[in-house]
Structure formats: structure tokens, C-alpha cells
């Protein structure tokens, strides 16, 4: 039996990258995985590659009606939900002087409001002792230039692990965060506004700064997500698990 045998999971932003690999890992551990993303064709292809243990539901987390529909489908097909991985997120480099209202709402509507919609809409079907995992970022604890809106959004969702643990304690629902470091994905370069060459150089530089000597892999995050979803972490809540090879905590040079 797998570590998640019999569990039902929901993963947002699951058509590629961290979300898709987490869907793969959880399904391989025995969970039935509902996968959501905005691009229906890409999402359905991704879910189809995982076989009968995965189901695609096209949805935009920033739209409450979409997530209410996701909840209704899960309720009709499975009756309950044991795991949420609120993974959907966007961001790009924008200097403070260039931040517009539209840019702020673009990021916060997906990263913050989308996380609220995801969890809030699933509350009626969340099982006793369920696990909620929120994808944050190591950057929420750093001060990277030209990244203030994204970092602020990740700081905001990190605060949810404390308040929601308190609010959901009577149902023994655990709320934790995963804080990825440098994880090369399709979105890592293009959406952030870098060319493939610029992204490659940035990764090489960050690897040189990382105590473990490399950038991360999507499997580093999906493995951690499986742990937080499983009964192995049954006494862990309101905790942020940073998976970044030490990059955000250890300086590689003498000060």
C-alpha cells in the first residue's frame, strides 16, 4: 500500500512543473488526485498521462465560481477531500516604480485570493484531520529587488498557516506551507521575463551560492508535499518547510 492509499487530493496549478509532479507523486502513493489549472487542453493531457488515479477539472482559482464548481464535482464523485495542495501561483520581476494596480491585482488575485478560494470552497467536504499545504516561497523571507509584489503575496499566504490552523483546530485539520527554493520549471524563466540564456546563467549562479551545490528539482518539492499530506506528518501543523538547499539561510562567504 502507498503512503496516501485511499486519500483524495486536490492540486491547483497542476498542469505542469511542481503541481504536475506532485500529482504524479501523490497518485503513485495511492491517492486519487483532482488536478486544476486554467489551460484545459494542457491540463487534460497531463492528467491523462497519470492514468485512472487522476481527474482534470479546468478552473481559475481567482474565480470563486470556478472553485465552487470544483468542490461540487469532488463531492459528487468522491464525497470528501483529504488533501489540498494550494500550488497555483504567478509572478514576475517588476521594479517598485513600475508596479501598477493591474500588476498588483494580477498577482494577488491568483496567489492570495486564489488560495482563499481554494481552501474556503473545499471546507464543506474536507475530512476530519485533513491536510492543507500552501505553496509559499523562500523569497518571502528575503529581499530580492524588483520582486516586491510577488514576495508580498507569498508572505500573505504564509500567514494563513497560523490563522487557519487556529480556525480549523476543532476538525484537527493541519495547515502547513512548502517554501521552494530555485526550482527550474517552464514558468521559471518565461513568465518571470527572462530569456532561456538569462535563466540558465541565473540558475548556475544560484547553484554556486547554495550550500548543497545545486538548484532544486520538482521532485524535491513533490516528495516534501507527499510527506506533509501523509500520516507521517500527523503531528505537524502551522509549519513552513523550506526546501531550498540552504540558499535562503546560509551565506557562502565570510562577512
Domains of the chain: 8-181+216-242 (3.40.50.720)
| Helix segments in the chain, DSSP class H | 17-28, 40-48, 64-77, 101-108, 114-122, 148-167, 186-190, 196-209, 218-229
d(CA 83, CA 27): 12
Res. 188: pLDDT tops 60: no
**Predicted confidence band of residue 143 (pLDDT cuts 50, 70, 90):** confident
Strand-pairing partners, residue 134, are: 86, 177
pTM reported for the whole predicted model: 0.94
- Looking at the annotation, which residues are catalytic? 150
Mean pLDDT of 120-147: 94
Amino acid at each position: 500500500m502507498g503512503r496516501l492509499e485511499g486519500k483524495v487530493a486536490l492540486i491547483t496549478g497542476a498542469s505542469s512543473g511542481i503541481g504536475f509532479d506532485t500529482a504524479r507523486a501523490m497518485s503513485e502513493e495511492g491517492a486519487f488526485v483532482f488536478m486544476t489549472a486554467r489551460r484545459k487542453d494542457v491540463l487534460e493531457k497531463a492528467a491523462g498521462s497519470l492514468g485512472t488515479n487522476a481527474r482534470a477539472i479546468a478552473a481559475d482559482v481567482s474565480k470563486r465560481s470556478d472553485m465552487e464548481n470544483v468542490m461540487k464535482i469532488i463531492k459528487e464523485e468522491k464525497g470528501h477531500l483529504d488533501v489540498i495542495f494550494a500550488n497555483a501561483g504567478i509572478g514576475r520581476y517588476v521594479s517598485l516604480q513600475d508596479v501598477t494596480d493591474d500588476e498588483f491585482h494580477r498577482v494577488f488575485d491568483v496567489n492570495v485570493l486564489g488560495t482563499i478560494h481554494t481552501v474556503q470552497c473545499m471546507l464543506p467536504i474536507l475530512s476530519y484531520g485533513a491536510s492543507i499545504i500552501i505553496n509559499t516561497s523562500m523569497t518571502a523571507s528575503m529581499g530580492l529587488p524588483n520582486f516586491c509584489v510577488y514576495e508580498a503575496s507569498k508572505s500573505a499566504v504564509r500567514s494563513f498557516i497560523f490563522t487557519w490552523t487556529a480556525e480549523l483546530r476543532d476538525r484537527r485539520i493541519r495547515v502547513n506551507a512548502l517554501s521552494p527554493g530555485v526550482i527550474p520549471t517552464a514558468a521559471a524563466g518565461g513568465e518571470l521575463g527572462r530569456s532561456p540564456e538569462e535563466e540558465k546563467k541565473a540558475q548556475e549562479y544560484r547553484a554556486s551560492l547554495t550550500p548543497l551545490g545545486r538548484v532544486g528539482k520538482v521532485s524535491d518539492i513533490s516528495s516534501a508535499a507527499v510527506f506533509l499530506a501523509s500520516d507521517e506528518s500527523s503531528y505537524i501543523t502551522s509549519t513552513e518547510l523550506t526546501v531550498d538547499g540552504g540558499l535562503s539561510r546560509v551565506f557562502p562567504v565570510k562577512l
